[in-house]
């Protein structure tokens, strides 16, 4: 059974910076669900290991929404943190023991008894794929995790882990935007389309550079986005989103804003079906040259 994520996911990696009351957080999540956003993205390390618990407080206060949503979280990175004084060097750990401990911590922090989708956060040069797969099998059997995937993996890294599993990896969460097209060039988008895996996209606005960066590339792209925004009567955020959402690989876009007006504006990208030529006009502006 494949996981059914909403086309737009709300990311909680900056939740500790929003400084929202519990009521404000409840309102944000409820309004997001009403808008069709049912998937929420986390990682154990976000907010110095604090953001999962912020979301967990929402579920403690309103447990009825758990059946309406999909919780995505990630593990495999060890930060330097007072919470884990034994870690002296930031590093990756995709061993079985660490994955199992991480999931138990995430379940506690998120105030839930299962995670819909668990991702390995970063490619680990010291990964033992058999160990990682062993953790997945144990978590799947126990019901603690329903689906599994990866984040920031290249095709051969994805394929290597997939070779140890008898169920498909559900996604690869990668950075893609009108300013960041590397995963088209490194074969990831083609590979994921071949495998019929819908990628999740982080930083769809290139960390805000789409709106403010004063570079040749950003200025070229912004000129085209503004032109299309005028045509479709939306913001450039909706056009940048539409550029992703119209692609046949079936991207699932993660928004990182805690402001409902910004979320609504970006969501309009779902409604806009850019033409083939319009998609390439943005592509050419990003690359800085015509296609061969």
Strand 91-92 and strand 77-78: pairing?
A: antiparallel
Q: What is the DSSP secondary-structure string of 189-249?
A: HHHHHHTT-PPEEE-TTGGGHHHH--SHHHHHHHHHHHHHHHHHTS-HHHHHHHHHHTSTT
Tokens, residue 60: 């403690």
Radius of gyration for the alpha carbons in the chain, expressed in angstroms and rounded: 19
Cβ-contact 47, 13 below 8 angstroms:
yes
Question: b/e string for 118-128 if b means 16 or more Cβ within 10 A?
Answer: bbbbbbbeebe
- Encoding tokens for residue 54? 């912020």
User: In degrees to the nearest 10, what's the CA dihedral of 245, 251, 252, 255?
Assistant: -60
Q: Which residues are catalytic?
A: 46
Count of other CB atoms within 10 angstroms of residue 85: 8
């Amino acid at each position: 059974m494949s996981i059914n994520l909403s086309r737009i996911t709300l990311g909680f990696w900056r939740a500790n910076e929003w400084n929202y009351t519990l009521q404000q957080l409840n309102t944000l999540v409820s309004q997001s669900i009403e808008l069709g956003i049912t998937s929420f993205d986390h990682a154990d390390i976000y907010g110095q290991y604090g953001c999962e618990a912020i979301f967990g407080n929402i579920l403690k206060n309103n447990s009825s929404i758990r059946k309406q949503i999909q919780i995505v979280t990630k593990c495999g990175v060890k930060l330097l943190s007072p919470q884990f004084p034994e870690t002296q060097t930031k590093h990756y750990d995709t061993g079985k023991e660490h994955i199992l401990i991480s999931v138990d911590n995430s379940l506690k922090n998120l105030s839930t008894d299962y995670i819909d989708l668990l991702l390995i956060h970063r490619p680990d040069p010291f990964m033992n794929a058999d160990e990682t797969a062993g953790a997945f099998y144990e978590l799947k059997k126990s019901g603690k995790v329903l689906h599994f995937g990866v984040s920031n993996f290249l095709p051969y890294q994805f394929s290597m882990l997939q070779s140890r599993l008898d169920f498909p990896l559900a996604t690869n969460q990668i950075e893609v935007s009108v300013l960041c097209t590397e995963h088209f060039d490194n074969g990831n988008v083609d590979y994921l389309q071949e495998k019929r895996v819908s990628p999740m996209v982080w930083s769809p606005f290139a960390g805000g550079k789409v709106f403010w960066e004063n570079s040749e590339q950003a200025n070229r792209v912004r000129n085209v986005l503004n032109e299309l925004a005028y045509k479709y009567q939306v913001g450039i955020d909706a056009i940048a989103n539409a550029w992703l959402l119209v692609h046949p690989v079936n991207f699932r876009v993660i928004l990182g804003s805690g402001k409902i007006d910004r979320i609504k504006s970006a969501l309009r990208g779902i409604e806009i079906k850019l033409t083939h030529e319009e998609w390439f006009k943005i592509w050419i502006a990003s690359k800085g040259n015509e296609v061969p």
